[in-house]
Structure 1
Amino acid sequence: MLSWEERRLLVKVAMLYYFEGQTQAEIAKKYNVSRPVISKLLNNAKKEGIIEIYIKDETFQTVELEQKLAKKFKLKEVMVVSTAGYAPEMVKRQLGKSAASYLVKRSNNIKSLGISWGSTLLSVVEEYPYERKKDVHIVPIVGGMGSEFVHLHSNQLAFNLAQKMNSKCSYLYAPALVESLDLKERLISTKDIADVLEEAKNVDLAIVGIGNPFKGSTMEKIGYLNESDLVSLRKAGAVGDISSRFYDAVGNELDHPLNQQVIGLNLEEIKNIPEVIGIVEGSYKLESIEAALQGGYLDVLITDDRTAQELIKSEI
């Protein structure tokens, strides 16, 4: 039990620090003690309940989720976007804005940026501001050709992002998924494609989406996957895909014919990129996200608050 005099000192120090804005060094000089003594007094004031700190801001909940997720999954950075009051179609746009904002800051320190494909990454590119980043080269990390849904393909996204940055990009002249392993081998042996794949392996940073092959799958929507493919993937234990590469519940890339027919980086090559940003929304992708995190494919996660809450509750 503290004496009246001890409590009085704690209150005086706390008032000087929190109300009058004096530094710990200034208070220490006033009382002729060292700064660590003042620090200890402030900590004691918290323990005794003399000081109670409240953070009153609408971002507090999302910041708290970010910290918990970063700690739980050992991530470099997490951004959680509040979805309160937003219609479903607006959530992806808000996610794109947040991801674009993060990318603007990171692009100051990189020379090359890899990009996958899909509707979530389209939102990022659409929300990215026009600026001058001539030193940043954009590289597709998976094939991106086809006549359907061209705006979602990696080559188109790379071109559009390069325009926004006033920089340059490479093109991977191949579809993401080809009909046979033989055709894939012939394509990746050509110099143009081999050179871009080598560039992709060596990018400083990459942005990817995460898919659930069985619900809301863009790959199914654009015709890369048919019903028999989905049955086969389910039997093989697929729970998600990154850059058209399918993985199981613990994040291991599947030994499956569809993975072998992809023209692009495999999951191990993606993992070796210094920083991989995963941008994903929707709690229906919960298992897909958990497995990707278990596989160690992401360094940064950008997601919505509902999905973040579900990830916190998960037992992984």
Structure 2
Amino acid sequence: MLNWEDRRLMVKVAKLYYFDGWTQQQIANKHNVSRPVISKLLNTAKKEGIVEIYIKDETSHTVDLEQQLEKKYGLNEVIVVSTAGFAPEMAKRQLGQTAASYVSKSLTNIKSLGISWGSTLLSLVEEYPYERRSDIHIVPIVGGMGSDYVYLHSNQLSFNLAQKMNASCSYLYAPAMVESQDLRERLVSSKDIAFVLEEGRNVDMAVVGLGNPYKSSTMEKIGYLDEQDLASLRKAGVVGDISSKFFDAVGEEVDHPLNNQVIGLTLDEIRKIPKVIGIVEGSYKLESIEAALQGGYLNVLITDDRTAQELVED
């Protein structure tokens, strides 16, 4: 039990330290004791409830979610964006802004950056700041051609991001998905396509989106998937896709004809990229995100607070 004098000293030391900004050494000099004595007094003050420390800021909740998800899934970093009260388009824009800022700050020692395709990555590119990164080369890691929704395709995103960065880029002159495995094999063995795919395998960092093929699917919207395909994917246990490659509930790439018609990196090749940043929002993608994290495809996850909350609770 602390006596009155001990408590008084603790309060005095705590006020100097927490309110007046004194260092522990300055307080020790004032009271003619050693610095470890002051450190011990401050620790005891916390244990005894004389001092309570809490962070009063709206980001405190998102930081908690980030730490819990990093621990739960063994991720290097999680960034949770607060989108409460935002309309869907604004939420996506907010996520794009955060992702753009994160990627821009993560480019030290990065010589090549891989990019997939989709509406979330479009937000990242649209929100990306203009800067000079002429030492960086951008590589599409999945095919991207067609006359519809061109702005979502990887080649277009590569080009637009390269313009924002003042960087160079490659083009993968092939659709994301072709009609047959035979056609895919002929295309990927052609010199130009093989070269860009090899560049993709060797990028230092990649940014990818994550899809749920059954809900708000860009692949269905563009016309790569029809009702029959979706029924077939469901039967095969598919829960999500990265770069148009489908995986099951434990994150394994499924043995399905559609996976053999995609021109792009395999999931195993994506997993081997040193740093993969997944940008995804919407709790309807919850099962897809969990499976991708179990599959070990991402090192960094950028998502919205509602999705993060559900990932923590699941």
Shift of 1:272: 0.8
Secondary structure in 2 matching 1:109: coil
Q: How far 1:66 moved relative to its partner? A: 1.3
Name the residue aligned to 2:252: 252
How far apart, CA to CA, are the structure 2 residues paired with 1:32 and 1:230?
75
Equivalences for residues 119-138 of structure 1 within 5 A: 119-138=119-138
Aligned pair count reads 314
2:190 matched to 1:190? Answer: yes
Per the alignment, residue 153 of structure 1 pairs with 153
1:164 partner letter = K
Query: Greater shift after overlay, 245-254 or 5-14?
Result: 5-14
Aligned to 1:102: 102
Q: Where does residue 37 of structure 1 map in the other structure?
A: 37
Q: Report SS of the residue matched to 1:138.
A: strand
> Comparing 10-19 with 214-223, which one deviates more in the overlay?
10-19
* 1:206 aligned residue: 206
Letter of the structure 2 residue corresponding to residue 206 of structure 1: A
* Residue of structure 2 in register with 1:88 after alignment: 88
> Is 88-97 or 21-30 further displaced after alignment?
21-30
- TM superposition shift of 1:35: 3.2
Give the AA of the match of 2:235. Answer: K
Aligned position for 1:285: 285
Report the equivalent of 2:303: 303
Amino acid at match of 1:253: E
Q: Structure 2 CA distance, aligned partners of 1:262 and 1:309?
A: 33
Report the alpha carbon displacement of residue 9 of structure 1 after superposing the two structures with TM: 2.2
| CA distance in structure 2 between the partners assigned to 1:32 and 1:255 by the alignment | 73
Once residues 181 and 228 of structure 2 are traced to their aligned partners in structure 1, the CA distance between those partners, rounded to angstroms, is 18
The residue type equivalent to 1:207 in the other structure is V
Distance of aligned partners of 1:33 and 1:252 in 2 relative to their CA distance in 1, 3 Å threshold: farther
For residues 33 and 297 of structure 1, the distance between their equivalents in structure 2, rounded to whole angstroms, comes to 53
TM superposition score normalised by structure 1? 0.96
* Residue in structure 2 matched with residue 50 of structure 1 by the alignment: 50
Summarize the alignment of residues 61-72 of structure 1 with structure 2, pairs less than 5 Å apart. Answer: 61-72=61-72
SS at match of 2:246: strand
The residue aligned with 2:141 is: 141
2:274 counterpart residue number? 274
CA drift of 1:109 comes to: 3.2
Give, in angstroms, the shift of residue 304 of structure 1: 0.7
5 Å-filtered alignment, 1:169-188, equals: 169-188=169-188
Query: Alignment identity in percent?
Result: 77
Which of structure 1's runs of 4+ aligned residues deviate more than 4 A? Answer: none
Letter in 1 for 2:222: I
- Any gaps of 5 or more consecutive residues in structure 2? none
- 1:14-69 per-residue CA deviation (whole Å, 9 max, x = no partner) reads 11110111112322333444433322221211110000112122222212211211
Displacement of 1:200 in angstroms is 0.5
